[in-house]
């Protein structure tokens, strides 16, 4: 690919999705955008590049973003954040939201749904502890194709074998031939919607817990800082932010701070969390995930 063409895609992706493309990923552009050019009936990738320099069709830009984003995910990915969610965050919320009996969770880069479904299954596993509570999960992503898969909630044998305990598979899924369908009682806890993290977060409302894992890693520091700043305005002052294992707020923003000894877990800068030691313990009644 010519350097000028590479720069056109690089700018387009950065501006429309935040994705930063380094020159060594040039080969990825060719392999992933070839099929997009074909779908849109351009004679070649170069012809598509020329079309993009005029006023680009929004749907074409979306197809390019979808082709270039990485949707890698799995149930209970990395496990530890989900242990923290169950043993640290939910017990804290049980205590701190006892009057409202409401917890709002946002899964900000939900991909094909395994992450929000994992959260919903954990809250379901708590049984009567949260009886009468309204626990909702909003799951968003920039890719409409991946959101359709997530809403559908149908997974292959390979996908359910990656991280999902067999007890949960049996309890929350129904087998359909070679596939497994998420049951409706879990599905109805989640609302899937298109959302671009570069946009204003205000229309989303406020949240108690935000999962934003394994997406900021693709953005530059300035974009990450802007997103943290926006998140700090819509998260409850005593809320929690989960980031991926290779992501951090350190050196990027002071709107959030890491929770000591709880890797991947962050709280707003003025949060009192952690200042009372008993808060870090799971009270009796929260249910562990059976492996």
Binding of ligand SAM at residue 213 (CB under 6 A)? yes
Binding of ligand SAM at residue 94 (CB under 6 A)? no
Name the one residue in this structure whose structure tokens are 């990395």: 78
Tell the smallest beta-carbon distance from residue 77 to ligand SAM (Å).
4
Binding of ligand SAM at residue 142 (CB under 6 A)? yes
In the complex with ligand SAM, the residue whose CB is nearer, 167 or 196, is 196
3-class DSSP state for residue 135? Answer: strand
Helix, strand and coil percent figures for the chain, each rounded to 5: 45, 20, 35
Range in contact with ligand SAM (rule: CB under 6 A) among 5-13, 84-92, 125-133, 138-146: 138-146
Cα–Cα dist 267/38, whole Å: 46
Residue 52 in tokens: 């993009």
Residue 207's Cα: distance from chain center in Å? 14
Binds ligand SAM by CB under 6 A, chosen from 71, 183, 248, 280: 71
Binding of ligand SAM at residue 141 (CB under 6 A)? yes
Binds ligand SAM by CB under 6 A, chosen from 137, 182, 189, 197: 197
Residue 148 in tokens: 């359709």
Residue 24 in tokens: 């060594």
Tell the smallest beta-carbon distance from residue 158 to ligand SAM (Å).
15
274 within 8 A of 238, measured Cβ to Cβ: no
3-class DSSP state for residue 239? Answer: strand
Long-range CB contacts for residues 7-11, cutoff 8 Å, separation at least 24? 8/49, 8/52, 8/53, 9/33, 9/49, 9/52, 9/64, 9/68
Tell the smallest beta-carbon distance from residue 147 to ligand SAM (Å).
9
Binding of ligand SAM at residue 72 (CB under 6 A)? yes
Binds ligand SAM by CB under 6 A, chosen from 150, 190, 215, 236: 215
Number of residues that bind ligand SAM (CB under 6 A): 23
In the complex with ligand SAM, the residue whose CB is nearer, 94 or 147, is 147
Binds ligand SAM by CB under 6 A, chosen from 120, 146, 234, 241: 146
Query: Measuring CA to CA, how many Å separate 140 from each of 110, 193, 206, 257, 278?
Result: 6, 5, 14, 24, 33
Backbone angles phi, psi at 175, to 5 degrees: -80, 135
Q: Give the N- to C-terminal CA distance of the chain in Å, as an integer.
A: 48
Binding of ligand SAM at residue 214 (CB under 6 A)? yes
DSSP state of 119: H
Binds ligand SAM by CB under 6 A, chosen from 10, 18, 75, 172: 18
Binding of ligand SAM at residue 234 (CB under 6 A)? no
Specify the pairing of strand 235-243 against strand 207-212.
parallel
Range in contact with ligand SAM (rule: CB under 6 A) among 5-13, 54-62, 70-78, 170-178: 70-78
In the complex with ligand SAM, the residue whose CB is nearer, 187 or 213, is 213
Interface positions with ligand SAM (CB under 6 A): 17-18, 69-73, 77, 109, 111, 115, 141-143, 146, 195-198, 213-215, 244
């Amino acid at each position: 690919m010519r350097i000028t063409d590479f720069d056109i895609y690089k700018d387009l992706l950065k501006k429309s999705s935040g994705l930063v493309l380094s020159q060594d990923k040039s080969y990825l552009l060719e392999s992933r955008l070839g099929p997009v050019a074909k779908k849109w009936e351009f004679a070649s990738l170069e012809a598509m590049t020329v079309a993009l320099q005029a006023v680009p069709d929004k749907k074409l830009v979306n197809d390019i973003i979808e082709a270039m984003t990485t949707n890698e995910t799995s149930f209970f990915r990395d496990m530890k954040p989900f242990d923290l969610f169950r043993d640290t965050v939910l017990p804290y919320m049980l205590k701190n939201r006892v009057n409202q009996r409401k917890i709002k969770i946002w899964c900000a880069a939900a991909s094909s749904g395994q992450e929000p479904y994992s959260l919903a299954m954990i809250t379901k596993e708590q049984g009567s502890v949260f009886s009468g509570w309204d626990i909702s999960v909003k799951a968003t992503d920039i890719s409409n194709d991946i959101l359709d898969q997530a809403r559908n909630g149908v997974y292959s044998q390979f996908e359910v074998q990656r991280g999902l305990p067999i007890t949960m598979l049996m309890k929350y899924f129904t087998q359909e031939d070679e596939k497994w369908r998420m049951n409706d009682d879990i599905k109805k806890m989640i609302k899937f919607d298109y959302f671009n993290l570069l946009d204003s977060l205000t229309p989303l409302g406020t949240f108690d817990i935000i999962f934003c894992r394994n997406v900021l890693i693709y953005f530059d520091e300035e974009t990450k800082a802007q997103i943290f700043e926006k998140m700090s305005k819509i998260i409850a002052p005593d809320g929690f932010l989960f980031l991926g294992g290779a992501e951090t707020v350190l050196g990027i923003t002071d709107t959030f701070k890491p929770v000591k000894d709880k890797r991947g877990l962050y709280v707003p800068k003025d949060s009192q969390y952690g200042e009372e030691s008993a808060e870090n313990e799971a009270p009796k009644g929260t249910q562990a995930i059976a492996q």
